[in-house]
Structure 1
Amino acid sequence: MDLASPLLWGQFISIGLMALALGLDALSLGLGIGMRGIRKLDIAKISSITALFHILMPLAGMWTGSYISALLGKVATICGGVLLLLLGAHMVYSSLRAEESPTYNHRSFWGLMLFSLSVSIDSFSVGVSLGMFAGDVLMTVLMFGMAGGLMSVVGLALGRRVGEWVGEYGEALGGVILFAFGIRFLL
């Protein structure tokens, strides 16, 4: 495919926006952990594992989505759009609920796994949707991984310097972006 192709650039921009939207969870939870105090080595470990989860979860979702698409055909496209709508609405609702999130030891193996899974689980659902649309797998997982890891670093590093307000609005913004893509896929 030609690198100057409008289709390639459109897909690159769409996937990039979704990756940033999903990375906002890592940013907001990273802010919370960072505000409690964190070492640079822990930032590197958490961000690396988060990036890995942001690669594996959408990859598993895309495989699942492509299987569903092969079974359902055109109905799968509608299901993918509805899934993005629901996921976006849930993210906005969760952020507005302003419920206190449970704390855990991010230095332990299980704490690290829990953090990484909690911020990348949405990537699986989006991966299912993208698998139904037959998106570019390599570009998707690499962009999701880079965005998840980078947003995690930013959140953890800035956590000591900013207030809690960013975390609340970050998840809501991510939800609005996914909701908008759901509408776009349904139209």
Structure 2
Amino acid sequence: MTDRPITVRAAAALEGAEGLGAVAFGVYTGVETAAGAAVDPVSAIGVTVLSLAGGLGMLACARGLLRGAQGSRAPTVLTQLFALPVAWSLWQSERPAIAVPMGIVAVLALVAVLSPASTAWLVHDHDEEDEDAPDDDAKPASRAAEPRPRDDRSLGQKLMDRLKEQPAKDAPAKGTSAKN
């Protein structure tokens, strides 16, 4: 996994920083609520729970990006798209010290995670456990393990070709006949 693009590392770092910030805010709000400093304790508890859950989710997305998990890209994009209106709201609430960094981090994370290098790297399977653990089924080596020649097809064409390789869901399994 040494071929991880810098854009994936940057997106993971930015997502992780936002996750840590959300967890820290959740802990701060929780402590303030427990100390009785909250004006509306019910709302403060809700903010605490959402901040902690959201922050932990963002940290999980950052970890997924670093591991090459294909499913970590969409939640990362969504968290950044949610961060932009929050930054705008903070800007309108005259909190530029929080709004500006939050907006900049969200835009940079979006650019990094949606960059062509990140997209191309995250399309492929990068599962560390499958490489280290012995396989009981003794499947033949996949094409992903072999060095690939340079492919000049676009990413969209590669994805379409990969989808065409997948068996159809309504096709009968081998060795069975279709009954009418």
Task: State the TM-score, normalized to the length of structure 2.
Answer: 0.32
Select the structure that is richer in helix.
Answer: 1
